[in-house]
Amino acid sequence: MAEGGGNTATGPFTELLEQYGPRVWETLAANVPRDLRWNWLLFMVAIALAIYLVRKGRGAKGADGRERPSGLLEFLLPRDIYTHVSARVDVWLWVLERALYPVWALLLLGSLGPFIERSVIGALTAGFGAGPAIEPNLAWMLFYSLVLLLSYDFTFFLLHYAEHKVPALWAIHKVHHAAEVLTPLTRYREHVLEGPLYSSAAAIGYAFPAAVFAWLSAGSIKAITVFDIGLFSLLFGFNGAFRHYHVQFRYPRWLEKWLQSPAMHHTHHSYLPQHLDTNLAAVTSLWDRMFGTLYIPEPDEPTPWGLAPEEQAECRSFTQNVAAPFRAWRDLLRAPGRRSAQAP
Ligand SMILES: [Zn+2]
Ligand SMILES: [Zn+2]
């Protein structure tokens, strides 16, 4: 509190803001995900530019999810998408989600992960004694990285599958699908309640195989950190930002049976009946193929994004999206078993 002249006195709320405001922004800045940093975005634009040149201005979609020819600027940054109310709401949902993300990451990745590791290593040691102390060579490390990637992808798939099939979970995930246009930020457009779910899934997906490998190599698995799993999944699944970009980046069809191309996520966000509940994994196509949810779209297949028109009006503004799960749960309690009218 300033002393002296009355004009310089500050109230408690101003003080709170001055004290914590910069910290909130610092937290947000430190939490900008890797695929939203300038180098990844530049890489994405470079690929989009290559698509523009090779396809002579074709390959980008408009706000209606339909492919259309366009000039370069419109191709990379279409006005109808970036001025859409949905793109604005993406920003605010992202800010809210990112501000709370460190809490989930600390609580769940930091406690659930080590707990699972200790339990699994303890159980293996109790059952089989000390591990064989395998010396991790290059092949072993690559194998370990691959197992971690598949395990993470599988837990991601399972949670995402459940979110699409269980009405109480769909109520939370629906906010991601309420995006009417796709922008790189849509990847992080999530209800705040979704953070703890995905943090738990990541902790489980990583901790189980990590514990088994740590037991097999008698703890020397720490050397494995040279293989950055985050970068691995970014490269293999390409990045989350590109999956939510309106330019279609496809792989050859044979490769899309193994890896999800960014454009395959366009159908995931479409409300057309044939696209509902498809392409649920983050990186590979294996789990979707196994569970019958893989959908490889035709070239330039239209994918109108968002919820079905009759449901979209209830899930458009920031406050509507934040309140959405609570409204849906209330409705579910009144009429149990009824899934909301439509679920992509
Ligand atoms: Zn989904
Ligand atoms: Zn998405």
Q: Tens digits of per-residue pLDDT, 245-272? A: 999 999 999 999 999 999 999 999 999 9
Ligand 1 centre from 233 Cα, in Å?
Answer: 18
Ligand 2 centre from 189 Cα, in Å?
Answer: 8
Ligand 1 centre from 277 Cα, in Å?
Answer: 7
The pLDDT mean for the chain works out to 87
Range scoring the smallest mean pLDDT among 30-34, 37-41, 83-87: 30-34
The whole-number pLDDT of residue 239 equals 84
The whole-number pLDDT of residue 149 equals 87
Give mean pLDDT, residues 24-42.
78
Q: Rounded distance, CA 282 to CA 187, Å? A: 11
Give mean pLDDT, residues 295-307.
97
The whole-number pLDDT of residue 28 equals 66
DSSP 146-177: HHHHHHHHHHHHHHHHHHHHSHHHHHHHHHHH
Ligand nearest to the CA of 160: 1
Q: Rounded distance, CA 243 to CA 283, Å? A: 11
Q: For residue 5, is pLDDT > 50?
A: no
Ligand nearest to the CA of 189: 2
Percent of the chain with pLDDT over 90: 56
The whole-number pLDDT of residue 24 equals 66
Q: Token pair of 43, please?
A: 């890489």
Contacts with 296 (C-beta within 8 Å, 6 or more apart), sequence order: 253, 256, 257, 264
Ligand 1 centre from 268 Cα, in Å?
Answer: 6
Report helix, strand or coil for 247: strand
The whole-number pLDDT of residue 10 equals 67
Ligand nearest to the CA of 288: 1
Q: For residue 232, is pLDDT > 50?
A: yes
pLDDT in tens, 97-112: 888 888 887 777 778 8
Q: Are 280 and 161 in contact (CB under 8 A)?
A: yes
Ligand nearest to the CA of 241: 2
Ligand 2 centre from 340 Cα, in Å?
Answer: 19
Ligand nearest to the CA of 164: 1
Ligand 2 centre from 263 Cα, in Å?
Answer: 11
pLDDT band at 199, cuts 50/70/90?
A: confident
The whole-number pLDDT of residue 228 equals 63
Ligand 1 centre from 122 Cα, in Å?
Answer: 36
Ligand 2 centre from 196 Cα, in Å?
Answer: 17
pLDDT in tens, 47-71: 999 999 999 999 999 999 999 999 9
Q: Which residues are paired to 60 by β-bridges?
A: 68, 247
Q: Are 256 and 285 in contact (CB under 8 A)?
A: yes
The whole-number pLDDT of residue 153 equals 93
pLDDT in tens, 115-157: 888 899 899 999 998 888 787 777 887 888 888 889 989 999 9
Ligand 2 centre from 241 Cα, in Å?
Answer: 9
Range scoring the smallest mean pLDDT among 27-36, 205-214, 235-244, 268-277: 27-36
Q: What is the pTM of this model?
A: 0.86
Ligand 2 centre from 307 Cα, in Å?
Answer: 13
The whole-number pLDDT of residue 344 equals 42
pLDDT band at 339, cuts 50/70/90?
A: low
Q: For residue 72, is pLDDT > 70?
A: yes
Ligand 1 centre from 305 Cα, in Å?
Answer: 12
Q: For residue 4, is pLDDT > 90?
A: no
